[in-house]
């Protein structure tokens, strides 16, 4: 069994309350490995996404996103109906469906099924919900020898580390670090060089042994189809499919929001998910679990854990439409610089900054909605058209911890500066002088590899031209 410390939980579930990002941001910016790998990889993924969507949809990409957003919003608006349809259909095929109100109940349900089935060894596919409920620690704590089967997650398990990206969990590490970690599986046969093929073959040997010995397979679920009652798994390594087939029991764990009404809706979401996540037309393995095979049991644990509260809040409901593609992380100038651990949450990046305060309570993570420049890139990238900047602004509007005297005075000053031409000119000249000398608050901006561009001198004339054009076109 691979020993596991408490470090991953501390990375994703910080003990400090309320959680402050500032110290983690400093640590992230000072980390040479992170600043080498994360910006380059995210940029590449972002470019690949744009190219793949252009090939598939051409100029109709915005139409596809709008349609996908409508599907997600309409489904969430009638989630109880679609969920009930899914549960009825799944149960009619022999899938046992359980509902967990919170993380503790979800863990207890999985452990109870494992105990009843006498499970001693488990394999687990990558799943953000299992991270959210800290399932790996619970399984290991209950004496069930469990191995992560996604290559990146396996490296993290061996390193006592935590994922820092929704799709690429070890984005903050390179192949040298992966070799170091994977060597622990079997030092005698570990490759001497960090060659990706040799490393994969080495991991494969250990994983095949675990798949063969496992009596329990645990997966997440990317979608649940209400029309057919099927659990849909998307992986590129085939480990999700294998985990769902080994041993005598398969337990899938996922959030209640993963339901889609029909196969037609699912088809569009699958096309957008793969292209937005990795630039592929479709994930290599898209598996549909529809019923248990003879002698086996299939269980689905549907996790609420705060989702009903988000669903009931019309301002933020859209956030539950997220299909976890990671595109908003890859395009976000903040995530690119600080990586995922600085967010102190299972969900990093823009969607994490929106979801975490909703799921854990805004008072526990007051900084997160402010960890954004509101540049709009995340909305532009989102395949299901979630207006993340608007949701961040809505969080800020509800935030009382930042509504102190100083903050109000700053807002009044900005309003005063923007109210007259001369005032604006004086203010922007002053801002340019400060920014070009890296003084005052701009010093914090210039900390690390980024540079704050000086405000342009012609903002007001361009603004005027723009408003004139808009008035003419209206």
Binding positions for ligand SF4, rule: CB under 6 A: 166, 276, 322-328, 351, 381-384, 386
Q: φ and ψ at 148, to 5 degrees?
A: -70, 140
Cα separation, 241 vs 81, whole angstroms? 28
In 170-217, alpha helices (H): 175-182, 196-213
Shortest separation between residue 172's beta carbon and ligand SF4, angstroms = 18
Shortest separation between residue 350's beta carbon and ligand SF4, angstroms = 6
Give 234's Cβ-side CA count (13 Å radius).
24
Three-state DSSP class for 372? coil
Shortest separation between residue 44's beta carbon and ligand SF4, angstroms = 17
Nearer to ligand SF4, 12 or 382 (CB): 382
CA 165, 169, 171, 173 dihedral sign is positive
Shortest separation between residue 248's beta carbon and ligand SF4, angstroms = 34
**Torsion on CA atoms 117, 112, 151, 2, rounded to nearest 10:** -90
CA 331, 335, 336, 341 dihedral sign is negative
Three-state DSSP class for 387? coil
CA 359, 364, 370, 371 dihedral sign is negative
Shortest separation between residue 257's beta carbon and ligand SF4, angstroms = 11
Shortest separation between residue 150's beta carbon and ligand SF4, angstroms = 17
Nearer to ligand SF4, 183 or 394 (CB): 394
Shortest separation between residue 457's beta carbon and ligand SF4, angstroms = 35
Read out DSSP for 239-255?
HHHHHHHSSSEEEEEEE
Shortest separation between residue 68's beta carbon and ligand SF4, angstroms = 9
Nearer to ligand SF4, 206 or 274 (CB): 274
Shortest separation between residue 382's beta carbon and ligand SF4, angstroms = 3
Question: In the structure encoding, which two tokens stand for residue 133, read together?
Answer: 């409920």
Three-state DSSP class for 256? helix
Shortest separation between residue 102's beta carbon and ligand SF4, angstroms = 22
Nearer to ligand SF4, 46 or 304 (CB): 46
In 372-458, alpha helices (H): 377-381, 388-398, 405-418, 421-436, 442-445
Nearer to ligand SF4, 297 or 385 (CB): 385
Cα separation, 173 vs 181, whole angstroms? 11
Nearer to ligand SF4, 289 or 386 (CB): 386
Three-state DSSP class for 102? coil
Q: Which of 106, 156, 151 is closest to 2 using CA atoms? A: 156
User: Who contacts 299 (Cβ-Cβ below 8 Å, separation ≥6)?
Assistant: 95, 96, 97, 98, 113, 249, 250, 251, 252
Nearer to ligand SF4, 50 or 325 (CB): 325
Nearer to ligand SF4, 259 or 328 (CB): 328
In 59-127, alpha helices (H): 61-77, 79-92, 103-116
Q: Which of 247, 249, 250 is closest to 219 using CA atoms? A: 250
């Amino acid at each position: 069994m691979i020993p596991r410390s408490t470090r991953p939980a501390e990375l994703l579930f910080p003990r400090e309350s309320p959680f402050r990002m500032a110290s983690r941001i400093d640590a992230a910016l000072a980390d040479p490995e992170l600043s080498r790998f994360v910006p380059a990889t995210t940029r590449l993924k972002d470019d690949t996404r744009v190219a793949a969507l252009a090939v598939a949809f051409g100029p109709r990409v915005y139409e596809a996103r709008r349609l996908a957003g409508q599907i997600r919003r309409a489904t969430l608006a009638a989630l109880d109906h679609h969920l009930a349809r899914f549960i009825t259909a799944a149960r009619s095929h022999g899938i046992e469906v359980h509902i967990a109100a919170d993380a503790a109940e979800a863990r207890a349900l999985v452990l109870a099924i494992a105990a009843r089935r006498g499970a001693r060894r488990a394999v687990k596919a990558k799943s953000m919900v299992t991270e959210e409920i800290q399932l790996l620690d619970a399984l290991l704590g209950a004496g069930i020898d469990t191995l992560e089967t996604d290559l990146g997650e396996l490296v993290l398990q061996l390193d006592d580390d935590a994922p820092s990206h929704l799709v690429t969990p070890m984005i903050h590490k390179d192949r040298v670090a992966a070799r170091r970690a994977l060597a622990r599986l079997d030092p005698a046969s570990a490759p001497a060089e960090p060659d990706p093929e040799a490393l994969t073959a080495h991991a494969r040997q250990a994983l095949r042994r675990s798949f063969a010995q496992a009596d329990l397979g645990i997966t997440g679920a990317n979608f649940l189809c209400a029309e057919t009652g099927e659990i849909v798994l998307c992986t590129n390594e085939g480990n999700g499919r294998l985990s769902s087939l080994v041993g005598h029991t398969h337990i899938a764990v996922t959030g209640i929001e993963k339901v889609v009404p029909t196969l037609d809706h699912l088809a569009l979401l699958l096309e957008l998910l793969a292209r937005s996540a990795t630039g592929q037309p479709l994930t290599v393995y898209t598996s549909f679990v529809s019923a248990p095979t003879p002698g086996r049991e299939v269980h689905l644990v549907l996790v609420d854990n705060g989702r009903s509260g988000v669903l009931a809040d019309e301002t933020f409901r859209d956030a539950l439409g997220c299909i976890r593609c990671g595109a908003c992380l890859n395009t976000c100038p903040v995530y690119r610089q600080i990586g995922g651990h600085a967010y102190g949450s299972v969900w990093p990046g823009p969607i994490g900054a929106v979801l975490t305060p909703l799921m854990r309570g805004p008072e526990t993570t007051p900084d997160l909605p402010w960890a954004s420049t509101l540049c709009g890139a995340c909305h532009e990238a989102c395949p299901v058209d979630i207006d993340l900047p608007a949701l961040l602004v809505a969080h800020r509007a509800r935030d009382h911890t930042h509504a102190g005297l100083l903050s109000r005075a700053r807002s009044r000053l900005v309003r005063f500066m923007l109210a007259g031409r001369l005032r604006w000119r004086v203010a922007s000249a002053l801002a340019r002088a400060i920014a070009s000398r890296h003084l005052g608050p701009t010093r914090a901006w210039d900390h690390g590899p980024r540079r704050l561009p000086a405000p342009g001198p012609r903002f007001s004339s361009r603004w005027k031209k723009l408003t004139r054009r808009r008035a003419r076109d209206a």
